[in-house]
């Protein structure tokens, strides 16, 4: 949770970045009007995306592109194919192109200070979206538009309690955990939040017997789950950090002659359509939603940052959780 100091730092940071950015732009003689007034230069946004590893990511990309178009911004979009070096070079390109604002979803939390210092030196404000970074210098980015992954981990453990009760589960709870990309904020924090609840309320009856990254992909989930079942045939719960790994794991569970959603109770995170379909078929027992439709909020923030307005340090996305019984009714209303 961010405290008041951070918030004030951010406010000062934004004002400074915005003011300097406006100054830098004026120094170069370009008009500094926003895209919205129709008369001035279009706001140019440089966006570096993690990749296209999951249904969530595709929905997130669609939301960013549609919202940038809607806002009348010129979008420079780069897909990093889940490689940090590609994101760093994309950000350097955006700096060279003198974009107005840089936004990106960092594939991992560390290793960003150097390139973010280069953006700061050129007075280009940076907005994080979806995932956060670890940095000692708060001024290197203005704000994060994204979910609270630690809370998603807590919610996953709390909804697993409901799933176990609904299933009338008796006896030991032996959990396999499919982790997201190693070093990524959602992987680190979803594991942390889940463990918090386990340590507090289930020290004696729950045990994580296997935990490994499936890199947020279906193929990864399937491959790792197959290995888990070889070494731990008595697994009776799967906690997957995203739907796609859960969907891959379902293939491995069925190949092993077991029933997903029955022999192995499954909780996943995201809430993409395919996850809801699997839940309506009884193969996933609950989904913790992580909303990828960040485009509208992001574009709003980008304009404020460009105009040097104060923005919150963390703009959290709203999301909820779904039990299997809700899947059929929810499916027609799912937007991603």
Interface contacts to ligand GZL, rule CB under 6 A: 53-54, 56-57, 130-131, 147, 186, 216, 242, 244, 269-270, 290
The smaller minimum CB distance to ligand GZL, of residues 290 and 302, is found at 290
- DSSP for 212-260 reads EE-TTSHHHHHHHHHHHHHH-TT--EEEESSHHHHHHHHHHHHHTT--B
The smaller minimum CB distance to ligand GZL, of residues 124 and 299, is found at 299
The smaller minimum CB distance to ligand GZL, of residues 82 and 236, is found at 82
Tokens of 238: 């799967």
Residues in the chain: 336
What SS3 class is residue 184?
coil
CA-to-CA separations, 11 to 14, 142, 246, 285, in angstroms, rounded = 5, 8, 40, 43
The CB-of-131 to ligand GZL minimum distance in angstroms stands at 5
The CB-of-256 to ligand GZL minimum distance in angstroms stands at 24
How many other CB atoms sit within 10 Å of the CB of residue 94? Answer: 27
Tokens of 5: 């100091």
How far apart CA 336 and CA 324 sit, in angstroms, is: 18
The CB-of-5 to ligand GZL minimum distance in angstroms stands at 26
The smaller minimum CB distance to ligand GZL, of residues 46 and 275, is found at 275
The CB-of-71 to ligand GZL minimum distance in angstroms stands at 22
The CB-of-153 to ligand GZL minimum distance in angstroms stands at 12
The smaller minimum CB distance to ligand GZL, of residues 100 and 270, is found at 270
């Amino acid at each position: 949770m961010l405290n008041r100091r951070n918030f004030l730092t951010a406010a000062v940071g934004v004002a400074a970045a915005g003011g300097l950015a406006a100054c830098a732009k004026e120094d170069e003689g370009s008009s500094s009007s926003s895209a919205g007034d129709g008369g001035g230069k279009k706001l140019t946004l440089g966006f570096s995306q993690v990749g296209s590893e999951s249904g969530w990511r595709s929905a997130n990309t669609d939301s960013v592109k549609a919202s940038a178009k809607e806002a009348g911004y010129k979008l420079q979009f780069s897909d990093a194919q889940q490689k940090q070096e590609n994101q760093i070079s994309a950000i350097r390109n955006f700096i060279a192109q003198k974009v107005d604002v840089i936004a990106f979803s960092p594939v991992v939390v560390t290793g960003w200070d150097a390139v973010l210092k280069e953006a700061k030196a050129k007075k280009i404000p940076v907005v994080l979206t979806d995932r956060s970074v670890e940095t000692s210098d708060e001024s290197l980015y203005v704000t994060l538009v994204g979910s609270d992954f630690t809370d998603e981990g807590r919610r996953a453990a709390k909804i697993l309690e409901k799933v176990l009760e609904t299933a009338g589960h008796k006896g030991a709870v032996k959990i396999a955990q499919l982790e997201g990309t190693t070093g990524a904020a959602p992987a680190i924090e979803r594991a942390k939040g889940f463990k918090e609840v386990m340590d507090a309320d289930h020290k004696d009856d729950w045990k994580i017997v296997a935990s490994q990254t499936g890199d947020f992909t279906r193929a990864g989930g399937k491959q790792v789950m197959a290995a888990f079942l070889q070494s731990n045939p008595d697994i009776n719960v799967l906690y997957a950090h995203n739907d796609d790994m859960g969907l891959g794991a379902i293939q491995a569970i069925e190949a092993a002659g077991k029933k997903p959603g029955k022999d192995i109770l499954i909780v996943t995170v995201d809430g993409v359509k395919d996850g809801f379909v699997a839940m309506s078929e009884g193969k996933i027992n609950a989904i913790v939603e992580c909303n990828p439709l960040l485009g509208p909020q992001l574009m709003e923030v980008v304009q404020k940052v460009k105009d040097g307005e104060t923005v919150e340090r963390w703009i959290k996305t709203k999301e909820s959780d779904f039990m299997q019984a809700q899947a059929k009714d929810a499916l027609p209303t799912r937007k991603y």
